[in-house]
Structure formats: C-alpha cells, structure tokens
Amino acid sequence: MILLASPGQGAQTPGFLQPWLEIPGVADRLAWWSAVTGLDLVRYGTEADAEEIRDTAVAQPLLVAAALAAYEVLYEDALREDRRPDAVAGHSVGELAAAAIAGVLSPEAALVLVRERGRAMAEAAAVTETGMTAVLGGDADEVLASIDKHGLTPANVNGAGQIVAAGTMERLAEFANEPPAKARLRALSVAGAFHTEHMAPAVDALRGLAPGAPVADPRTRLLQNRDGAVVASGAEFVERLVAQVSAPVRWDACMDTMREIGVTAIIELPPAGTLTGLARRELSGVERVALKTPEDLDKARELIKADAA
C-alpha cells in the first residue's frame, strides 16, 4: 500500500522548483496556477531567496502547487484512468494538496483556499510577535510538560522525538533558557505561531469562505492531522482543515494510522525530505522515496508499478 505525503511550511528552500520546470507541461501548469493564486509561482520557486519564500502568504500556495505539479507528473498515466494512490496525507498546509489528490477539492479550489489561508494566517501572525521552536529528543511527557509550563502550545507533535512548541517570542525565549532535559531546541524559520490560538482570526476568515467551495468525498484513503483519522466525507475533511489552522498537528497520530492500515511505502512530494525522515525513524520496514528532483521519479514509479501488480 502506497501513501503519498505532502510536506508543510518550512520545507521550502530557494530554487527547489528549478529542476521540475524541465519537464514538459510543468511550467504551463504553474503559470495557470499563478493566475489562480495571484503569485508568480515560477519565480518564487526558482529565483526568490529564503526570506521571500518564508512569507506565509507566499510559502503556502507555493508548497501546494509544487506538490500537485509533481503528483500530476508522477501519476500522469494513472490519472487518465482515474487511478490514485492507496492513501494520502499532508502535514499542515500539505493537507490542501492531499485533499486535491484524493479528489475532495479540484486543484484550483485547493489553491484558492490555500491562497486565502496563507493571507489570513500572515495577517494573524502580524498581530503579535510569535514563532515556533522544534524540540528534538528528550522524554515526550517531560517536553510536553515544559511546553505547558511556559504557556506555549505543542503545535506539531511529529513523532520520532520531535515536538514543535509555539507561542509568543517572549515565552519562547524563556523556554530556551530552561529547556527540557536531554532535548535540543531549534528555532524554525516561520512567520508565526501556527496551529495555536494566535491563528483564531484566520479560522474565522476561512469559515466564511470554505462553505462555498465545491467538495466531493475522497476517492482514496485520506488521513487528517487532528487525530490521524481516515476521513470518508469531503465536507467533514474541509471543516477539519479550517479548524486545524488553530489546532495542533498530530503527525504522530497520522503515522500510527499508516501503520494500522498497512502502508508499505511512502512517497513524499516536493519539497521532499522532512516526512520521509520522520518515517525512517518511526515506521520500520516501510519503503520511502523523497521526490527531491525529477531524478527520483523512476524509483517512485517502480514502487507504484510493483504495488499495482
């Protein structure tokens, strides 16, 4: 069983889209999606520096567009027969790409929602100076207790010894001065405390928009970040997507579900590496392919062909 995984904000790096533009049709697709998002996705994915693509309103549409473009290349033949991967999951904003791959949203609807999601989250982040810090290692219960002690939120519980604390910069500084035992802290290059109460205004904005989106039920297993559940209703999944903006991402629960449903291989869409890295430490025996460049396509296609046999 193959699961396609779409990464979240922070995975982007300058120029990561460049090699994908050499594939016929990709530049045209991104030009169309640039019109949908109001952003020059090709420029942001090839020429923009790290600070430009750190902007939430830019990073989120860029990530979803990149994942969808690579998915269409990877599944080019299968899509003609309306065949999809056995399961799909996205981390945070990657859930918008996952929803499109599963058939819950069209690519254009997913990109409209992510455009507005990015804008709304950027506006919410501008209200108070906030940030996120990765906590690597340490005892999970002790880490969570320390995060709570400092008035922070465990915004991402990623498994494999990685939890992300989020909140005001003042509280993050206090947390850094008194870190959990045997844990390393790494400040993340993001523009706010995503998946916390600070994003409540963005949730309100999306709740006013999402009901008008054309939605269908998923045509493959679709995992959701709140609790790792496989969601069978498209409307429910979109409702969860909206609420997730201010709620913690439980990627650990998603990996638990992958194990329970028998996932045997994970293909991570670009900009790939983060989620396959977590799977390497958490999902023993599961094959992994990180689609970092088109050179990785052959290996991914071999997995898909073997799975279909």
- Regarding whether 84 and 16 lie in a shared domain, the answer is yes
Identify the pLDDT of residue 259: 97
- Regarding whether 214 and 152 lie in a shared domain, the answer is no
97: domain range? Answer: 2-125+196-308
Residue 176's domain is classified under what CATH number? 3.30.70.250
pLDDT tens profile 256-288:
999 999 999 999 999 999 999 999 999 999 999
- Total tally of structural domains belonging to the chain: 2
- Regarding whether 62 and 49 lie in a shared domain, the answer is yes
Q: Which two tokens stand for residue 244?
A: 């997730």
Identify the pLDDT of residue 78: 62
* Model pTM above 0.75: yes
d(CA 33, CA 46): 15
Identify the pLDDT of residue 189: 79
Identify the pLDDT of residue 80: 58
- Regarding whether 164 and 113 lie in a shared domain, the answer is no
Torsion sign across C-alpha atoms 155, 156, 159, 161:
negative
Among residues 187, 207, 234, the one where a domain terminates is: 187
Alpha helices in 75-223 (DSSP H): 76-80, 94-101, 107-125, 140-149, 169-177, 200-207
Radius of gyration of the chain from its Cα atoms, rounded to whole angstroms: 18
- Regarding whether 121 and 37 lie in a shared domain, the answer is yes
Identify the pLDDT of residue 84: 84
Among residues 187, 219, 235, the one where a domain terminates is: 187
- Regarding whether 205 and 84 lie in a shared domain, the answer is yes
Residues tagged active-site: 92, 195
pLDDT tens profile 195-251:
999 999 999 999 999 999 999 999 999 999 999 999 999 999 999 999 999 999 999
d(CA 225, CA 91): 7
Residue recorded with tokens 């992958």? 258
- Regarding whether 213 and 268 lie in a shared domain, the answer is yes
Q: Cα dist. 48→13, 44, 111, 274 in Å?
A: 9, 5, 20, 21
- Regarding whether 13 and 95 lie in a shared domain, the answer is yes
Identify the pLDDT of residue 258: 98
Which tops the pLDDT comparison, 255 or 161? Answer: 255
- Regarding whether 134 and 15 lie in a shared domain, the answer is no
Among residues 187, 205, 236, the one where a domain terminates is: 187
d(CA 45, CA 66): 8
- Regarding whether 245 and 121 lie in a shared domain, the answer is yes
Residue 238's domain is classified under what CATH number? 3.40.366.10
- Regarding whether 235 and 272 lie in a shared domain, the answer is yes
- Regarding whether 178 and 214 lie in a shared domain, the answer is no
